[in-house]
């Protein structure tokens, strides 16, 4: 029994053995608060769920979580710090993200202005998964604040001696928390979809979400960091 325990311990990276579970619990509490704050991810997932149904909303949530995992991994291997330090690259990503959010916002406002919607019945969309995932991934990957979070904020919860594996555990935990929250949000929105897809309500929702998207884009564009 003792030999098995030693073998298991030997298979675990030393940095994980030194990981402070108190620090990890504190980080998870902080990450939950960050995830719950409404932002572009919230708006994109809500919009996809209302317009494309639960399947599209789920894939949009998966796209956001995939982007979080990619950016977290980039931070672990050092690419994140390089991007944050390279101002031309950082600014390019920032303006690309602002432009994409602005594009989504204008589309929603135009939809609200036209007020032409299909029936609120079951959605049949062969490309729902691809469209949902793409919007979720692109809206998140072009938000450099997520990368700044992994590079600058996350290490503050690390204990001395913790290495890359521990950082990866912290980063992927944030991605999983985001996925769990957004999937829950998708389920809630889908249950209320009958109400939300009524023409007056849908127009109001599209208008509010569109303005929010434009606001998120402007805040991203003019943020100093």
Question: Over 50: is that where the pLDDT of 105 sits?
Answer: yes
Confidence of residue 4 (pLDDT cuts 50, 70, 90): very low
pLDDT of residue 159: 65
Residue 175 vs residue 198, higher pLDDT: 175
pLDDT > 90 fraction of the chain, expressed in percent and rounded: 23
Q: In terms of C-beta density within 10 A (0-12 exposed, 13-18 middle, 19 or more buried), how is residue 222 classed?
A: exposed
Per the CB < 8 A criterion, the answer to whether 39 and 182 are in contact is no
Residue 77: pLDDT band with limits 50, 70, 90: confident
The pLDDT score that the predictor gives to residue 19 is 55
Helix boundaries (H) for 78-163: 79-85, 87-114, 128-141, 144-148
Q: Which has the higher per-residue pLDDT, 203 or 80?
A: 203
Burial (CB count within 10 angstroms: exposed 0-12, middle 13-18, buried 19+), residue 33: exposed
Q: What is the pLDDT of residue 180?
A: 96
Q: What is the rounded CA–CA span in Å between residue 185 and residue 64?
A: 13
Long-range (24+ apart) CB contacts under 8 A made by 141-144 are 141/67, 141/70, 141/71, 142/93, 142/96, 142/97, 142/100, 143/40, 143/97, 143/220, 144/83, 144/84, 144/90, 144/93, 144/94, 144/97
pLDDT of residue 121: 52
CA gyration radius for the chain?
20
Residue 46: the pLDDT is 92
- The answer on pLDDT for 135 being more than 90 is yes
What are 24-39's pLDDT values in tens digits?
888 889 889 889 888 8
Q: What is the token pair recorded at 174?
A: 């944030």
User: What is residue 27's DSSP assignment?
Assistant: H
pLDDT tier for residue 152 given thresholds of 50, 70 and 90: confident
Please state the pTM of the whole predicted model. Answer: 0.78
Mean pLDDT of the chain: 80
DSSP for 158-216, please give it.
PPTT--HHHHHHHHHHHHHHHHHHHHHHHHHHHHTHHHHTSHHHHHHHHHHHHHHHHHH
| CA separation, residue 39 to residues 18, 95, 175 (Å) | 34, 17, 15
Confidence tier at 113 by pLDDT (50, 70, 90): confident
Residue 223 predicted with pLDDT over 60? yes
Q: Residue 118: what pLDDT?
A: 65
- Contact yes or no for 87/162 (Cβ under 8 A): no
Most confident of 10-14, 36-40, 183-187, 216-220: 183-187
């Amino acid at each position: 029994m003792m030999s098995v325990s030693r073998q298991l311990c030997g298979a675990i990276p030393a940095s994980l053995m030194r990981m402070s579970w108190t620090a990890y619990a504190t980080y998870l509490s902080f990450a939950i608060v960050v995830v719950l704050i409404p932002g572009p991810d919230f708006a994109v997932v809500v919009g996809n769920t209302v317009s494309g149904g639960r399947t599209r909303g789920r894939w949009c949530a998966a796209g956001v979580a995939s982007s979080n995992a990619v950016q977290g991994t980039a931070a672990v291997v050092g690419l994140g710090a390089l991007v944050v330090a390279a101002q031309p690259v950082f600014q390019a990503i920032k303006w690309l993200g602002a432009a994409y959010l602005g594009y989504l916002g204008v589309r929603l406002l135009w939809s609200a202005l036209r007020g032409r919607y299909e029936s609120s019945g079951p959605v049949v969309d062969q490309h729902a998964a691809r469209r949902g995932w793409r919007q979720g991934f692109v809206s998140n990957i072009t938000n450099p604040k997520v990368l700044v979070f992994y590079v600058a904020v996350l290490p503050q919860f690390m204990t001395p001696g913790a290495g890359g594996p521990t950082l990866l555990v912290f980063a992927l935990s944030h991605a999983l928390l985001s996925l769990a929250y957004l999937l829950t949000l998708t389920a809630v929105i889908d249950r209320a979809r009958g109400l939300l897809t009524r023409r007056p309500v849908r127009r109001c929702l599209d208008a509010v979400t569109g303005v929010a998207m434009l606001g998120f884009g402007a805040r991203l564009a003019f943020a100093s960091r």
